[in-house]
Structure 1
Amino acid sequence: MKRNYLIVLLVLVTFFVISFITNLLAPIFPALIQSYSIGLTLAGFFPFAFFIAYGVMSIPAGLLVQSLGEKKVMLIAFSLALFGSVLFVSLPIFAVAMSALFLIGTAMALLQVAINSLLRASGGSKHFTVLSVAAQLMFGGAATLSPLVYSALVKADSQAQSQNWLLQLVPADMTWLSMYLLFALLCTVMLVVISVLPIKHNTQAENPQQGSIKQSLQLFKDPTVIKFFFAIVAYVALEQGVANSISVFLQTYHQLDPNTGGAQIVSQFWLSLTLGCLLGIVLLKLFDAKNVLLTFSVGAVVSLFTALFAHTELALWAFPAVGFFLSIMWSVIFSLALNSVAKGHGTVSGILCTGIVGGAFASPIIGAVSELTGSLQISLLLLLMPLGYIFSVGIWANPLVANHTLKSNPQTAKLAESN
């Protein structure tokens, strides 16, 4: 497939929409507990129902991309997300909420698999690393915006609420449901846009035999693919482990109110992760992606140690710094993985996206170790394990196509473009 910047733009917008709903769970978490009158343990099933869908559905999503193509899979995904959102708003009881969140999570898994392979095909393999960081920038921007939209929507004065038609369609004691109505509208718009855009089934162009299950299953045994799968598990566990622990850590060791000071640092963490993508795009145009990954991994280690053991002022600076150094990791790992295999990129994307399930288990493990040792500082040191594995990727990765830099050889660039 030739480079198609309109499709690249569509993929970037899709990343924004995925992040907007994925990162909504954190700000509405207290409201969920209050609305359903449940404890923290039971409330934990809300994000679990969402993220477990990645573990269950990402590999089947890869097979669907290979057989149906990216466009059809994206249409199926947004249809599922639309249905799940409407179901959530229509019957907001606990059991239905679990099913609705699983459907939405399934839709996000389908989209993640489809758009990553589509981004590589439409933007060119040699530009995939930079485009992936641009997608991460969109993802981070939506993660920052989603809580702000929620806050503005449900915390308006009573007169403004009475005039808001979204709030009029949800129960008065569940105003957070209005966000899922908004997401349903976004899904509807995306369905219309995707329907009218010409998106070619590029996987068939790579290999006519590639769409078969037998051919796809062979990739599941590829040692390179499996190693990158665990790299994705490590990254998501690291990201979620840090983000979900910030407020509790600052409250425990620095006596910061989690609803004010702690929440602000969490917001700065995501903002720093977003801003780091801007520097990442520049660095990836100047240096090999593996070297950038190694450098940012070291920066993350230093920042994490500082956040855990320094005094309050440094800790408040160090947690956002961790987010900054995490910024390019997902994009670089994913692009190195896809550029390390010659075919089956849709299936490989499915295997990699299955690794997102790592985010469902990071916080429970940290919490369990914290209770056993009596120290949250010690339990958070466990995050050095996934961080060390990510560092190792920069050593052993051997992509068939290197990221395009300003120093790239023209002949190498032509070879990369052909892949």
Structure 2
Amino acid sequence: MESFSQPVQVTGARPNGAGTTGPLIIVTILFFMWGLLTSLNDVLIPHLKAIYTLTYVQAMLVQFCFFGAYFVVSLPAGILIKRIGYQNGAVVGLMIAAAGCALFYPASTSGYGMFLLALFVLASGITILQVAANPYVTVLGAAATASSRLTLTQAFNSLGTTIAPALGGMLILSAGVLSVSDLARLPQAEQVIHQANQAASVQGPYLALAAALLVLALMFAAARMPKISHAESSDESPSSGSIFAHRHLVLGAVGIFMYVGGEVSIGSFLINFLGEGNIAGLAHAAAAHYVSYYWGGAMVGRFIGFGIMRKVSPGKALAFNASCSIALILTAIFSHGQVAMWAIIAVGLCNSIMFPVIFSMALNKLGRQTGKGSGLLCMAIVGGAVVPFAQGFLADHIGLQASFLVPAACYAYVLYFGLKYVRMYQERV
């Protein structure tokens, strides 16, 4: 998941970014790790759904707890980092995330509720980590090359989201969970043993992730990082009054809510969708590899979009991508087989530019209120908790394929915001 940082001041940085290669490598690994951890949820959802015979709404509590942490923890994270500093904040975030991963071990023997608690703790750590670590990307090196460093770290974040589903498919889904009918044929004692074995498949991968996060915490604590503090903007734009008076910011916050919700919702249902008999009939482990194509499309699209958007206005680019997303989702809903399968996967390519474009458009000319606006937009990431829940409700009542009307509606709002911004931009320049 991408994120943006507030304006900062830097002290203790070396001239021209000398000696910053090591710290930059550590920060880049952090971006990779939180991309990996976020995308692993797409593997956990069908796995836990099958183990505990959950409805779609119940299974979507995974994303509700995970992305709900962004809404709950973002403001406390900012207060914490203001007190203990950015470097210590990143270390605390890594340690909390490691604790969340470690909780998967007792969760595998305790039931679904413990898994949800573990996911909330994990996401809380990632939220603190994002607030603390993002500013370092811009200050670890010369100002002239800050954009290239941001591109590099975001590429590694996308790499994490791309490889996580395939990796999770091999480590977690490879054994295969029995269907409800097959499980019912087993004696009660064997059912309990089978469910326990399947739940235990998450122990090794998440304990390894916990260990990796602790190692990163030690590396970050030992690294010589520049001191960072908030800077007041010199922009002459309005600096007082309510941030809600800026209509484009409010519309942009709704846009972030809708976009993140739509993107996460598609990824959350993708394995189950590809397992449908009229779509691809894939086993969960095989379908997980195609989820990597969905997230990988966003990574490829970022580099394509970087070149195209040098000549195309952001509003038009956003509207075009949103239109393509809607067309692809409707194709997936009203067709079947390979056409439906590849149509829904191709939405990932369209997602590529949406988050940074909506974010930057919403913050346009906020001046000294940019920091507050950024905080509001980060809280809007809670869309990743709410929208999958709504799609799960529809999936339980009208069917999985038709339930993709929910993300289609989300992209319809993104289309509206893109077209609205084109007019706003023409009025402002």
TM-score normalised by the chain length of structure 2 = 0.73
1:13, distance to aligned residue in structure 2 (A): 2.5
SS of 2:283 mapped into structure 1: helix
Q: Deviations over 1:247-283 (max 9, x none)?
A: 4445557242142664444332222222212212332
CA distance in 2, matches of 1:308, 1:346: 40
Q: Residues 186-197 of structure 1 correspond to what in structure 2 (within 5 A)?
A: 186-197=212-223
1:110, distance to aligned residue in structure 2 (A): 1.7
Instruction: Determine if the alignment matches structure 1 residue 257 to structure 2 residue 257.
Output: no
Q: Residues 40-189 of structure 1 correspond to what in structure 2 (within 5 A)?
A: 40=55, 42-66=58-82, 68-90=84-106, 92=108, 93-94=110-111, 95-119=113-137, 134-153=152-171, 174-189=200-215
Contact 1:129 1:335 in 2 (8 A): no
Q: Which residue of 2 aligns with 1:353?
A: 378
SS of 2:368 mapped into structure 1: coil
Instruction: Determine if the alignment matches structure 1 residue 333 to structure 2 residue 348.
Output: no
Q: Which of 137-146 and 191-200 deviates more?
A: 191-200
Q: Which of 179-188 and 194-203 deviates more?
A: 194-203
Name the aligned partner's letter for residue 67 of structure 2. F
Q: Which of 186-195 and 278-287 deviates more?
A: 278-287
Q: Which of 1-10 and 277-286 deviates more?
A: 1-10
1:244 aligned to 262, 268, 274, which one? Answer: 268
Contact 2:87 2:225 in 1 (8 A): yes
Contact 1:117 1:349 in 2 (8 A): no
Change (3 A) 1:222 1:311: same
TM-score normalised by the chain length of structure 1 = 0.75
Q: Residues 354-373 of structure 1 correspond to what in structure 2 (within 5 A)?
A: 354-370=379-395
- What value does the CA root-mean-square deviation take over the aligned residues? 4.0
CA distance in 1, matches of 2:148, 2:419: 20
CA distance in 2, matches of 1:152, 1:376: 25
Q: Residues 310-321 of structure 1 correspond to what in structure 2 (within 5 A)?
A: 310=335, 312-321=337-346
Instruction: Determine if the alignment matches structure 1 residue 227 to structure 2 residue 243.
Output: no
CA distance in 2, matches of 1:304, 1:63: 40
1:204 aligned to 230, 236, 248, which one? Answer: 230
Change (3 A) 1:186 1:351: farther
SS of 1:206 mapped into structure 2: coil
1:324, distance to aligned residue in structure 2 (A): 0.4
Q: Which runs of 5+ in 1 are unaligned?
A: 158-170, 209-214, 402-419
CA distance in 1, matches of 2:390, 2:28: 33
Q: Residues 383-398 of structure 1 correspond to what in structure 2 (within 5 A)?
A: 383-397=407-421
Instruction: Determine if the alignment matches structure 1 residue 304 to structure 2 residue 329.
Output: yes
Contact 1:136 1:327 in 2 (8 A): no
Contact 2:26 2:216 in 1 (8 A): no
1:32, distance to aligned residue in structure 2 (A): 3.5
Contact 1:220 1:226 in 2 (8 A): yes
1:297, distance to aligned residue in structure 2 (A): 2.1
Q: Which residue of 1 aligns with 2:35?
A: 19
1:317, distance to aligned residue in structure 2 (A): 2.7
Q: Which residue of 1 aligns with 2:54?
A: 39
1:380 aligned to 395, 404, 417, which one? Answer: 404
1:275 aligned to 287, 295, 300, which one? Answer: 300
1:77, distance to aligned residue in structure 2 (A): 0.8
1:172, distance to aligned residue in structure 2 (A): 6.3
Q: Deviations over 1:378-413 (max 9, x none)?
A: 542333332132233334449xx9xxxxxxxxxxxx
Change (3 A) 1:75 1:184: same
Contact 2:249 2:362 in 1 (8 A): yes
Change (3 A) 1:74 1:220: farther
CA distance in 2, matches of 1:83, 1:134: 28
Q: Which runs of 5+ in 2 are unaligned?
A: 1-9, 176-195
Give aligned pairs, total: 381
SS of 1:39 mapped into structure 2: coil
1:83, distance to aligned residue in structure 2 (A): 2.2
Contact 2:325 2:408 in 1 (8 A): no
Quote the sequence identity (%).
25
Name the aligned partner's letter for residue 15 of structure 1. F
Contact 1:70 1:115 in 2 (8 A): yes
Change (3 A) 1:243 1:216: farther
CA distance in 2, matches of 1:49, 1:330: 21
Q: Which of 4-13 and 388-397 deviates more?
A: 4-13
Change (3 A) 1:133 1:258: farther
Change (3 A) 1:297 1:379: same
Contact 1:303 1:322 in 2 (8 A): yes
Q: Which residue of 2 aligns with 1:343?
A: 368
